[in-house]
Amino acid sequence: MKRKIIRLAAFIKGFLLWLRPHYFLGWLKQPLLMASNFIYLSKWISLQKKTELNDFYSPARQYAKRYQLYEYLLTQTGIAQEPTDYLEFGVAQGASIQWWTKNCTNSAWRFYGFDTFEGLPENWGLYKKGDMSAALPAMNDERVHFFKGLFQQTVPVFLSTHSMNAGRRKLIHLDADLFSSTLYVLTSLAPFLKKGDILLFDEFNVPNHEFHAFKIFCDSYYIKTQLLGAVNNYFQVALMLE
Ligand SMILES: C[S@@+](CC[C@H](N)C(=O)[O-])C[C@H]1O[C@@H](n2cnc3c(N)ncnc32)[C@H](O)[C@@H]1O
């Protein structure tokens, strides 16, 4: 019986592929993916434990609330006192990395910022490839190092020259907006992540981008996280690796 079902399923699949459904159903790809990811996101949110800083549900988004989340991480997780590697993926003009260098003066911290500095490598929603291009931020802080180029080119070089397992905590700030960039970074860093490391997302609740990348990453590497804080209805989210 099982064999018959498998043969029938294989026949139907082959037949459907032969019909070339992408010609007449292609327009459904994005909305269906969006609907599926939206449902996963809703479920993920419902599974998060209570935490002191979480504004869900709040009717209006205030982007500046992300700085409350940064402040919370600095003061409530103990990282401010620990030697920490802060890695930021998506620097642009440097607003977020400048906040961190200004507010965390621990000389044992290291700041690594990665960006093309030539803008997004792909279209993202209403933004076009090349949007957000910016000059390297001028920062008078010797703890800061920038890596210019696609993550796909700079991250392997960084990982081969930088000791990621040197007993330092990691705060990984994912602010590249795109699914591809976020997934690339998470999978590249996977071998080096440890319990207690922090993932900070800037556009987490965008279903087909950062959230989609995060979900695939957690499913593929059996990653478990604990919610530290969230603002703007999970737009900005901080998670600690378990
Ligand atoms: C939203 S901006 C970062 C904003 C910044 N963190 C802030 O808050 O001020 C996103 C940046 O990600 C960069 N980016 C996205 N994908 C990238 C990739 N694969 N390689 C390098 N940079 C990338 C873009 O160039 C863009 O500058």
* Structure confidence at residue 99 as a pLDDT band (50, 70, 90): very high
Out of 65-74, 106-115, 161-170, 195-204, which region has the weakest mean confidence (pLDDT)? Answer: 161-170
Residues 2-28 pLDDT 10s: 999 999 999 999 999 999 999 999 999
Tokens for 41, please give them: 């996101």
Phi, psi torsion values for 47, nearest 5 degrees: -90, -5
Ligand 1 atom closest to the CA of 203, numbered from 1? 1
For ligand 1, atom 13, which residue shows the shortest CA distance? 90
Ligand 1 within 6 A of CB of 91: yes
Secondary structure element (H or E) that encloses residue 40, with its range: helix 29-47
* Mean pLDDT score, 225-234: 98
Q: Are residues 11 and 81 in the same domain?
A: no
Q: Are residues 86 and 4 in the same domain?
A: no
For ligand 1, atom 15, which residue shows the shortest CA distance? 176
pLDDT at 229 over 90: yes
* Structure confidence at residue 172 as a pLDDT band (50, 70, 90): very high
Ligand 1 within 6 A of CB of 121: yes
Q: Are residues 12 and 102 in the same domain?
A: no
**Would you say how long the chain is, in residues?**
242
- What residue numbers bound the domain in which 194 lies? 51-241
Q: Are residues 18 and 102 in the same domain?
A: no
Q: Are residues 224 and 133 in the same domain?
A: yes
Ligand 1 atom closest to the CA of 98, numbered from 1? 9
Question: CA 51, CA 70: separation in Å to the nearest integer?
Answer: 15
* Structure confidence at residue 167 as a pLDDT band (50, 70, 90): confident
pLDDT at 217 over 90: yes
For ligand 1, atom 27, which residue shows the shortest CA distance? 92
Q: Are residues 13 and 71 in the same domain?
A: no
Q: Are residues 67 and 114 in the same domain?
A: yes
Question: CA 57, CA 141: separation in Å to the nearest integer?
Answer: 38
Pocket test for ligand 1, best of 99, 115, 182 (most atoms within 8 A of CB): 115
Q: Are residues 131 and 224 in the same domain?
A: yes
Question: CA 58, CA 38: separation in Å to the nearest integer?
Answer: 18
Q: From the CA of 32, how far away is ligand 1's center (Å)?
A: 27
* Mean pLDDT score, 93-118: 98
Q: Where are the beta strands (DSSP E) in 34-168?
A: 53-54, 84-89, 110-115, 144-148
CATH classification of the domain holding 137: 3.40.50.150
Q: Are residues 42 and 72 in the same domain?
A: no
Task: Say if CB 238 and CB 73 are below 8 A apart.
Answer: yes
- Given 29, 47, 65, the domain boundary residue is 47
Residues 37-87 pLDDT 10s: 999 999 999 999 999 999 999 999 999 999 999 999 999 999 999 999 999
What's the number of domains the chain is made of? Answer: 2
**CA-based nearest residue to 113, from 82, 139, 83:** 139
pLDDT at residue 177 in the model? 98
Residue with tokens 């900005």: 236
Ligand 1 within 6 A of CB of 210: no
pLDDT at 165 over 90: no
**What percent of the chain clears pLDDT 70, i.e. is strictly above it?**
100
Q: Are residues 34 and 69 in the same domain?
A: no
Secondary structure element (H or E) that encloses residue 154, with its range: helix 151-161
Question: CA 205, CA 65: separation in Å to the nearest integer?
Answer: 15
Q: Are residues 236 and 131 in the same domain?
A: yes
* Structure confidence at residue 97 as a pLDDT band (50, 70, 90): very high
Q: Are residues 2 and 118 in the same domain?
A: no
